[in-house]
Amino acid sequence: MAVISFSRRLRELAEAQPDRPAITCGDDTVTRAELVQRGDDLAVYLHQHGVRQGDMVTIAVPNSIDWFVAYVAAWRLGATPQPISWRLPQRELDAIMELADPSAVIGVDPALDDPALAGRCRVPFGFRAPRAEASHLPDVVSPAWKAPTSGGSTGRPKLIVSGDPASIDTDAPPPLLLGSDGCLVMPGPLYHNGPGVWSCQALLHGNHVALLHRFDAEATLAAIQEHRGTVLYMVPTMMKRIWRLPDDVREAYDLASLRVVWHLAEPCPEWLKQVWIDWLGAERIYELYAGTEAQTATVITGPDWLAHRGSVGRAQPGTVMITDADGSELPAGEMGEVWLRAVGRDTPTYRYLGAAARTREGGWESLGDMGYLDADDYLYLGDRAADMILSGGANIYPAEIEAALQEHAGIHSCAVIGLPDEDKGNVVHAILEADPTEVDEAELKQFLAERLVVYKLPRTFEYVQEPLRDDAGKVRRNALRQERIERGQQARQPHQPHQSQQGAQQ
């Protein structure tokens, strides 16, 4: 076993093939040697401004080569890269500053008047550090190789600090079927855990990373063809938008180089997975379920999915258990809370800053998901327990309704929530990212009635133009629900007789 720092690994790759492309983003490409040099330059600059081993470095940078340069610089100093969206509102940024207490923040305006940033080194997006000699910096290892944030459905940020240091066993096979000397095509936002993990691991194992500035369906296919992509990262929202390209556009691109298509991060409707299997072949399609906490993961191949339709796979490594509300373990086939447990390691896979884990005796942890195991230990997911709608005594899971809605050609995306109702407790409300002039509501109701039992049918529909899910496929149902509850309360207040739910279609 040869365990070395991430920094040394990148230097060795650069020494072996200095001119091989490391990162391409749009029209810009950086070679292995150039990436290491730019990382060293920024590391020296950050070190001069107080960044030391063990510090956090917050990275608020959009998809770009600069994002990777910031990571390489942080690892060079033994600091922990802490990615966030560059579009965070100030209130959420301030909350993360309090949790992370970074010594540097990359991607913010140095002149930004924000007390939470006072005393921290601030580096603007697009900054190019002066050329510097970094040989005086020791070869050190970051105690945690990443510390992404998660707001979950509550909107309250927390940091999920990796339990793994920034070191790599060069004798171990590449994870995630990435291989080496191939090309990962990454259309997802790097500040989310999945895109960041896939991209960093691809880079560290000698692959070229072809990064999109942001997801575009046809541009993703073009990148696979241009760079001979071997691995593709997807979320179902992306898969749906690619599938709904005109046939002549989708089929115009050469995808023969693709070995693996990963999809994760949100439930994948069965019809969507099936059409991708029919299009590209079951042997290329892989699905993964895990949290950023990485206690364990389940993986399922395309052929296995055809034999266990709807499953997200079996744990590898680790174990899964399902319990009822009283904490008693449930047999195969019964829906309950999903508990995960890591195996084969002496240290935790993560630690929270700003939250407490949901745990039970025996090393089990829950992310709040609902699901069941079949007789072969394949896991099938429902929704987060917090997202479940209790209506008239029935448990209704939004993901099932959303999957039915997304089969409709006129709906780009959707979110299903429960709204308070005096009679039933809650009623099902569907928020549709769609043009109401292109969706016949009577036809939509009939479409859903052919797919859902009557008590699961939405009672109300609302049409919006803004995206409901981010580029990683995430939706905050609790936040959507609270907005609509507050909007309804305001509409019922005295002296506001003309206020209404904008865009609501009852």
User: What are 478-506's pLDDT values in tens digits?
Assistant: 889 889 988 877 766 654 433 333 333 32
Q: In which residue ranges of the chain is pLDDT below 50?
A: 152-155, 495-506
**CA–CA separation, 187 vs 238, rounded Å?**
9
Per DSSP, 130 falls in state P
Residue 463, classed as helix, strand or coil, is strand
Domains in the chain (CATH in brackets) are: 1-10+30-167 (3.40.50.980), 391-505 (3.30.300.30)
pLDDT for 138 equals 97
**CA–CA separation, 207 vs 35, rounded Å?**
13
pLDDT for 503 equals 37
Q: Which helix (H) or strand (E) holds 496?
A: none
> CA torsion angle for 15, 21, 25, 30 (degrees, to 10)?
40
pLDDT for 478 equals 80
Give yes or no for a contact between 3 and 167, defined as CB atoms under 8 angstroms apart.
Answer: yes
pLDDT for 394 equals 67
pLDDT for 493 equals 61
pLDDT for 354 equals 92
Strand order in the sheet with 460-464: 413-421, 425-433, 460-464, 504-505
How much is the pTM?
0.83
DSSP string for 260-318:
EEEE-SS---HHHHHHHHHHH-GGGEEEEE--TT-S--EEEEHHHHHHSTT--BEESSS
**CA–CA separation, 172 vs 210, rounded Å?**
24
pLDDT for 326 equals 92
User: What are 430-483's pLDDT values in tens digits?
Assistant: 999 999 998 999 999 999 998 887 888 999 999 999 888 877 777 888 889 889
Give yes or no for a contact between 403 and 435, defined as CB atoms under 8 angstroms apart.
Answer: no
User: What are 103-119's pLDDT values in tens digits?
Assistant: 999 999 888 889 999 99
**CA–CA separation, 274 vs 328, rounded Å?**
35
Per DSSP, 503 falls in state T
Per DSSP, 173 falls in state P
Farthest CA pair distance, the chain: 73
**CA–CA separation, 317 vs 106, rounded Å?**
35
